[in-house]
Amino acid sequence: MAKPRNYWVLRGMRGAAARQNLLNYYTGVSTRPSRLGTRGPRAASQTLYLQPFSIPLATDHVLRATALAPAWTTLSAIAPTQQHVTATLGSKTAVRIKSYKAPRITRVNLDPTGTVATADITKLEYMKYDNTSMSIPFGKNLVADTVAEVAAELIAAYTAAPGFAARLIPERT
């Protein structure tokens, strides 16, 4: 059976003070500070167009998806030919399917050093890594393309530089 969150703190194995701080938080005696609005405004969105993998569309139709403009600018420059997504509609017709979510590729910039931080609730020290990530949707180019093939190409391109990781968020219909 899995242990519940903060098991070691509640059992007192991380110190009596940490246990009491956690219990005070759970009972409402203490609170932690809010960090709402500390990162600045959200970046603008970029409308993108792609061919879905699991839904057959006419050749002159594309699905509309979005990404943050800074993510689109950065990631489209790394692997422009593998993404099969564009920011220009051209002569095609954009279609929106409410239940469809395009597959996304996420690139994570890994912070190798980290800094020592103190937990707001238990007051225990831990290592905080300032990893940043950005993601964009992608589509298929050829009829025979699969999500796995295109994602493998993108992951290879995004992780070519050291200090980066990439992961796939599959499409949902």
pLDDT at 165: 93
pLDDT at 59: 82
Positive or negative, the CA dihedral 8, 10, 13, 19 is positive
Distance in angstroms (rounded) separating the CA atoms of residues 31 and 24: 8
Partners of residue 66 on adjacent β-strands: 47
Distances in Å between the Cα of 141 and the Cα atoms of 51, 52, 60, 86, 145 are 7, 9, 13, 11, 7
pLDDT at 12: 77
Which residues fall within 8 angstroms of residue 171, CB to CB, at 6 or more apart? 52, 53, 54, 100, 101, 102, 103, 147
Record the pTM: 0.75
Domain locations in the chain as residue ranges: 41-169
pLDDT at 150: 87
Distances in Å between the Cα of 172 and the Cα atoms of 42, 45, 54, 71 are 25, 21, 9, 21
Tens of pLDDT, residues 29-48: 888 888 888 888 889 999 99
Taking residues 70-97, report their average pLDDT: 84
pLDDT at 85: 84
Partners of residue 63 on adjacent β-strands: 50, 95
Q: Which two tokens stand for residue 162?
A: 């050291």
Torsion angles phi and psi, residue 154, rounded to 5: -70, -45
Strands 45-50 and 61-68: antiparallel
The residue that leads in pLDDT, 142 or 84, is 84
pLDDT at 96: 85
